[in-house]
Structure 1
Amino acid sequence: MVFSSPNYLISILSLGQVLIIAIFTQYLAVAGIPIPLGWMFIVDMVVVGNTALSLVLMRKLMVQEEQANLIRQQAKHIQDLEEMIRNIRAQRHDFISHLQAVYGMLQMGKLESAREYLAEVTGDIRILTQTLKLKSPEVAALVQQKAALAASRNISFGLVIETDLSKVTVRPHNLNRILGNLLDNAMDAVAFLATRDRYIRLEINEDEENYIISVGNSGPGIREDLMEKIFEPGFSTKGENRGLGLAIVRGIVEQHGGQVRLTSPPTIFTVTLPKAGGE
């Protein structure tokens, strides 16, 4: 940790010395003890020197902390890139197996089974292809993970990406918080439906000035009187200890000059984020 470094300890000691000298000098003044001019000169030199040293060391600590944060971000970036590469390799590795399975079903005359199997396989490939359009591997990895989670819950996942988000002003960490909360909310909304009715859809588009992210679901509509309340911290229709996700989404979006709009039914959350360099 940066704050256990020698620079930090020296800075604390320097400030401690300044504090001790100041207290001792104040004590002499209150006690009416004459303070020699030489002593005052020494005190001034020590105070100025230690203060300057502390400021320099604190500046170094801030630089070290920034560098440490950058290293952590780069490590996360590399981890997400590696995850994407693993997904691509897995798709390539499984491709022959999928072809063999389809060929076997066709040989047995099971055309409907082959059609359903191909629909599922091509859906996985389409999701991977769509996410590769994004410039941010962190965001691409999150979308892939949420698509896989939806599949594990028997939820159909529609995905349309028509932009690379290259000019988005929101950092990947916060953009993932927006997407993650909206997608989790959508999956929760359809969890109690019959399997055939479970459907969520993510669209990422752009116009001249903004990026537009919409997340819809096939769940029950939201009453008009609740459309504003669901963005309030702690408000939830799902029970206790819930209701923070949408509040987090609105907070991040508005912090970056964007807007969140809700329409229902069907339930669609639309996030608008201004591009870098826009008004």
Structure 2
Amino acid sequence: MELQKLLEVIQVQRHDFLNHLQVISGCLQLNKADRVQEYIRQVIADMRVMSQTARLEIPEVALALLVGINEAAKYQMEVALTVDSKMDECAVPGTVAGLALEYVWSCFLGNLFPPGMGKRSLTLRFAESREKYTVCLGSRASNIGDFLLLKKCLAPVREHLHKHGGESNVNLTGENLEILLEFPRKRAENGQTKGTDKLSGG
């Protein structure tokens, strides 16, 4: 990952923080206490969404997620994030998993159509099962200019993940586009997938 992009994330967060303070200060000077409360609630809601990145226990994946969200904002792309997994037992090396997510962001944003279109949205969910972890990026198919070009762009991700038992797929169903990344869980010495008992309630 380019350090410059990580520095951009830090700079954007710093700018947003200072902007929040200025807005709150301005409202207080105008004696608009109700507006301050409303604004703080909005900021807290936004922070709760971003704080989900801290649940991920693979630093490279968390960083790729933060950078990707920042890059998406440049395209006026709103991200609805759901993190339902820590990915703490991922069998794929962190550097590989992080690069895979970073590459997905790059291919998706690089194939947006038209580039200058107004605000759009995508969903990004981190989930898990007994056997694997899944990252699913979903969006409207109309946001992509050329589906076949996107699929070709993502081919190296699939090839790279295959070397570590992972998988990558691009699905187009009607107006819905999904990019899936699958990472196997680590296995214990007895050959069973680690975390199975925890997930099954045993």
Partner of 1:192: 114
Partner of 2:185: 275
TM-score of the two chains, using structure 2 as the length reference = 0.68
The residue type equivalent to 1:187 in the other structure is L
Partner of 2:196: none
Matches within 5 A, 1:81-100: 87=10, 95=17, 98-100=20-22
The residue type equivalent to 1:126 in the other structure is R
CA contact 1:216–1:266 (8 Å) conserved in 2: yes
Partner of 2:163: 255
The residue type equivalent to 1:248 in the other structure is P
User: Higher strand share goes to which structure?
Assistant: 2
Matches within 5 A, 1:18-97: 87=10, 95=17
State the 1:244 CA deviation. 5.4
TM-score of the two chains, using structure 1 as the length reference = 0.52
For 1:201 and 1:170, how far apart are their aligned partners in 2?
23
Identical-pair percentage:
21
SS at match of 1:149: helix
Partner of 2:97: 175
Partner of 1:131: 53
The higher-RCO structure (CA 8 Å, 6+ apart) is 2
CA contact 1:257–1:273 (8 Å) conserved in 2: yes
CA contact 1:186–1:200 (8 Å) conserved in 2: no
The residue type equivalent to 2:51 in the other structure is T
Q: Verify: 1:145 aligned to 2:67, yes or no.
A: yes
Partner of 2:79: 157
Change (3 A) 1:270 1:94: closer
SS at match of 1:195: coil
The residue type equivalent to 1:205 in the other structure is A
CA contact 1:186–1:217 (8 Å) conserved in 2: no
Matches within 5 A, 1:113-128: 119=42, 122-123=45-46, 125-128=47-50
The match for 2:129 among 192, 207, 226 is 207
Change (3 A) 1:122 1:189: farther
CA radius of gyration, larger in? 1
CA contact 2:141–2:172 (8 Å) conserved in 1: no
Partner of 1:70: none
Tell me how many residue pairs correspond in the alignment: 180
CA contact 1:163–1:206 (8 Å) conserved in 2: yes
Change (3 A) 1:212 1:98: same
Moved over 6 A (4+): 114-118
The residue type equivalent to 2:83 in the other structure is I
Partner of 1:38: none
The residue type equivalent to 2:161 in the other structure is V
For 2:84 and 2:178, how far apart are their aligned partners in 1?
18
For 2:43 and 2:140, how far apart are their aligned partners in 1?
20
Partner of 1:266: 176
For 2:40 and 2:105, how far apart are their aligned partners in 1?
25
Partner of 1:40: none
SS at match of 2:157: helix
For 1:146 and 1:221, how far apart are their aligned partners in 2?
17
Change (3 A) 1:176 1:266: same
Gaps of 5+ in 2: 194-202
Change (3 A) 1:186 1:117: farther
